[in-house]
Structure 1
Amino acid sequence: MRMQFWRKAVEDIYCNNPPHQPVAIALWRAVKRHNLSKMWFTKIIDEREKNLDDRAYRNIQELETYAENTQSALLYLTLEMLGVKDVHADHAASHIGKAQGIVTCLRATPYHCTRRKVFLPMDICMLARSFSKKVPVKAYPAFYHTVALDDYLYNIRKVDFNIFHPSLQKRNTLLPLYLYIRTWKKTY
């Protein structure tokens, strides 16, 4: 039902008739202001709909596809909002979105285990930094969430990749400082 609502809401938004719902109205305004591509919203909805049955990913490619069509699609929309049209930024968004999807899956493992579910294919890719020298600085705000990804990956290495270690469930209060430093240094 929820996916049907959003599928119809996106159609209505692009027909200039958004539903009377606060998120849909805000989305309609963003679409009009930034001329956002409908394709990315459709991909997100389609992929989330496929994933409603809570089945495990058969391989890393399935998880990457899910992350590309959800996390990376959000990054592509963010780049559109920033006015960035650059192949290197798109390439970085693709890899960062995939990395975010994989890290999110990894971070959620302790929770899913309490529900007796496993979603982890254990291949991991983290290529996104290799593109940073070619990505325009204007695109960097779209990628600043890598601060949290880096922090989690650093912490999981510290506990010898034990995803169940209690320290991984604690918030890092220094993340805003790390984010500030990255923005000041103009890196992601």
Structure 2
Amino acid sequence: MRPPALRRALAPALRLTRGHAGCSNPHHHHPPTPSSSSASSAAPAHTHHSHSHSHTPTHAHVHSSAAAQTPSALPHRTPGAALNVPTTAGGPHESAAYCASLVQRLDPDAWLTSYFWPKRERDWWFAIRAFNALEERNRRSSLRLQHMNKLLLRDTLLPRAPGGHTRASLKLYSPLTDNLQLELHQVTTTVSQPAIAAMRLQFWRDALSAIYSDNKPVPQHPVAIALAEMRKARPVMKYYLSQMIEVRAKTLSLPPASPSLEEYITTYSPLAGALLQGPLPILLAPSDAGTSHIAHTLSHVANLLAVTTLLRGMPQLAAKRQLAIPSDVLASHGVVEEQVFRAGAEASGLKDAVFQIATRGMDELITARTDLKSDNGKVVPAQTMPLFLAAVPAERYLQRLEAADFDVFSQELQKADWKLAPKIWWTYQTGKL
């Protein structure tokens, strides 16, 4: 038996673990949305002290409050399954609820860290994360449908366009193949080809222009409304929100593999940087003396996130016979793409290539920690700590990757990390990256 004081201190982390580590026990309930009173009491945002008994709901209270909810409000999931949270929860008149449910479904790592944001600021942060989640979903849908177009033309008896060129055939038959894809893969988004993807990106460009204008009506989209409310309350720069659009617009037409690891980081880290430095004014006034130092440290965390995104996406790309490892890393370890597609992790030199990339990510984390040494390793100002929690899932992935002998295809890496929620909680409590 744990001492009562220890049980009370660990209660918030245990609740997060039960809700997000793939638990299928019918007696365990997912935490309510962060806008509820239990979430705000589970993780006060402005203190680093252990939670008192008055702030920790009892076991009976959790079950009684859960019983009052409808089954759809407290969804369950099996290990490895996506969170069954409808993205349409809320609407133009409930923009905060819409953004929260969207993040919970599409960005579970960010959802876990949300419990440690101040209640009011959390809604504005959700607006930025929901904006990012929407754009990422659009980009992935566009790439997936483009790939399926090519497969359907290659593996079916559709006649080729005059001259037999694949590009001309895609243009000729894209409406037909798009309909087939909707049936086969149940793609619910409307992004079916690059032209439509470009239209949606332009919609958000126009939406940002309206949000940051004093005389243009804001589109009646819940994310746009939430961003407009955030802009009225905090001086979040339009530049960072635009970065989320422009980086995706640029990378949509790029090949999966960059020429070099440095070029990959240069191309993709601005997206992670926008997600970290963009919300900084929500927690810290731009005039604060610590702003520039915190922003510099966050830039190293952004590089870490870019590297882990590259590694985590490799299995999905390999399933489509695409390899995202930068060309210079492949060449230095003698990795042959076709061998990777056939042999997976056993391909010659692949684990060494993955090790090199993972090492670069850890170097960025070490550099970020070095930046904080002057304050005994703690994040100062302390109110910016929620932003640094994004490094915890990335570090946990690299640690699990090392335990799997740098096998990015390991099934262990596809499982939910039950240690992640307690680790996020502990990192917040210590105030150290």
Query: Does the TM-score normalized on the shorter chain lie above 0.5?
Result: yes
Which residue is 1:52 aligned to?
252
CA contact (8 A) 1:93 1:143 kept: yes
1:8 to 189, 202, 206: 206
Trace 1:16-165 onto structure 2 (pairs within 5 A): 16=214, 17-55=217-255, 56-85=257-286, 86-121=291-326, 122=329, 123=357, 124-125=360-361, 126=364, 127-134=367-374, 135-136=379-380, 137-165=382-410
CA contact (8 A) 1:72 1:93 kept: yes
Q: Over alpha carbons, which structure has the higher Rg?
A: 2
CA contact (8 A) 2:236 2:279 kept: no
Amino acid at match of 2:200: R
Q: Percent identity?
A: 30
Residue by residue over 1:117-163, the C-alpha shift from the partner in whole angstroms, topping out at 9 and shown as x without a partner, is 12222542423222233541222210102111111111111111111
CA contact (8 A) 1:64 1:101 kept: yes
Partner Cα separation in structure 2 for residue 80 and residue 61 of structure 1: 29
CA contact (8 A) 1:84 1:138 kept: no
CA contact (8 A) 2:236 2:281 kept: yes
CA contact (8 A) 1:103 1:149 kept: yes
Comparing 126-135 and 146-155, the one that deviates more: 126-135
Partner Cα separation in structure 1 for residue 300 and residue 272 of structure 2: 10
Normalization by structure 2: what TM-score?
0.42
Aligned residue pair count: 188
2:412 to 146, 164, 167: 167
Amino acid at match of 2:297: A
Q: Secondary structure at the match of 1:42?
A: helix
How far does residue 84 in structure 1 lie from its aligned partner after superposition?
A: 5.0
Q: Secondary structure at the match of 2:279?
A: helix
How far does residue 113 in structure 1 lie from its aligned partner after superposition?
A: 0.3
Partner Cα separation in structure 1 for residue 282 and residue 263 of structure 2: 28
Q: Secondary structure at the match of 1:20?
A: coil
Runs of 5+ in structure 1 lacking a partner? none
Q: Secondary structure at the match of 1:98?
A: helix
CA contact (8 A) 2:272 2:305 kept: yes
Partner Cα separation in structure 1 for residue 404 and residue 243 of structure 2: 36
Partner Cα separation in structure 2 for residue 28 and residue 65 of structure 1: 30
Partner Cα separation in structure 1 for residue 252 and residue 385 of structure 2: 32
Residue by residue over 1:50-82, the C-alpha shift from the partner in whole angstroms, topping out at 9 and shown as x without a partner, is 011251222123321233321111111121111
Residue by residue over 1:104-123, the C-alpha shift from the partner in whole angstroms, topping out at 9 and shown as x without a partner, is 11011001100111222254
Comparing 50-59 and 161-170, the one that deviates more: 50-59
Runs of 5+ in structure 2 lacking a partner? 1-198, 330-356
CA contact (8 A) 1:72 1:97 kept: yes
Partner Cα separation in structure 2 for residue 31 and residue 82 of structure 1: 13
CA contact (8 A) 1:92 1:128 kept: yes
How far does residue 89 in structure 1 lie from its aligned partner after superposition?
A: 0.7
The 3 A distance-change label for structure 1 pair 164 and 82 is: same
Partner Cα separation in structure 2 for residue 87 and residue 139 of structure 1: 12
Comparing 100-109 and 66-75, the one that deviates more: 66-75
How far does residue 3 in structure 1 lie from its aligned partner after superposition?
A: 1.1
CA-atom RMSD in angstroms:
1.6
Q: Secondary structure at the match of 2:409?
A: coil
The 3 A distance-change label for structure 1 pair 92 and 84 is: farther
Comparing 9-18 and 132-141, the one that deviates more: 132-141
CA contact (8 A) 1:71 1:101 kept: yes
Partner Cα separation in structure 2 for residue 133 and residue 78 of structure 1: 24
Q: Secondary structure at the match of 2:373?
A: coil
